Amino acid sequence: MKKKRVLLISRPNLLGDSLEHILSNLEDVQVTGSLPLDDQVLAHCSEQPHDLVLIADDESNAPLVSAIMSGLLENSPNLPIIRVKLEPNILLIYSAETMPARVADLIKVIRQVPLSEI
């Protein structure tokens, strides 16, 4: 069975250790690395293929996490990213779908976006 290659990015803390332990015990998941939140993450991501990046953080790291996510989305637009936020205890899932840049495709995508509940 082929395993999903997951890169875990987090501070060395209880959340990061817990996620690594949980993921390592899954039969269909291979943790390809556990990296700290720093400016070396992007270089490491380009060295090894991953199927998914999991970022666990708290709000104190927001600027660094934003920079890392921006770099990942720019360099690997088809790489799904899941961000685990302690406050307010949610998962944010970022994924991309690429398609030809045609007017008809743009209109189709706009129509598929759900209306906000404001």
Q: What is the pLDDT of residues 94-104, one digit of tens each?
A: 888 778 889 99
Residue ranges in the chain assigned as alpha helix (H): 14-24, 41-47, 62-75, 103-112
Paired with 6 in beta bridges are 31, 52
| Local confidence band at 48 (pLDDT 50, 70, 90 cut-offs) | confident
Confidence grade of residue 57 (pLDDT, cut at 50, 70, 90): confident
Q: Which domains, ranges and CATH numbers included, belong to the chain?
A: 4-112 (3.40.50.2300)
**CA distance readout (Å), 7 to 10, 14, 64, 105, 114:** 10, 17, 17, 32, 30
Peptide bond into 88 cis (omega under 30): yes
Confidence at 55, pLDDT banded by 50, 70, 90? very high
pLDDT band for position 37 (cuts 50, 70, 90): confident
Say which residue, 111 or 98, is predicted with more confidence: 111
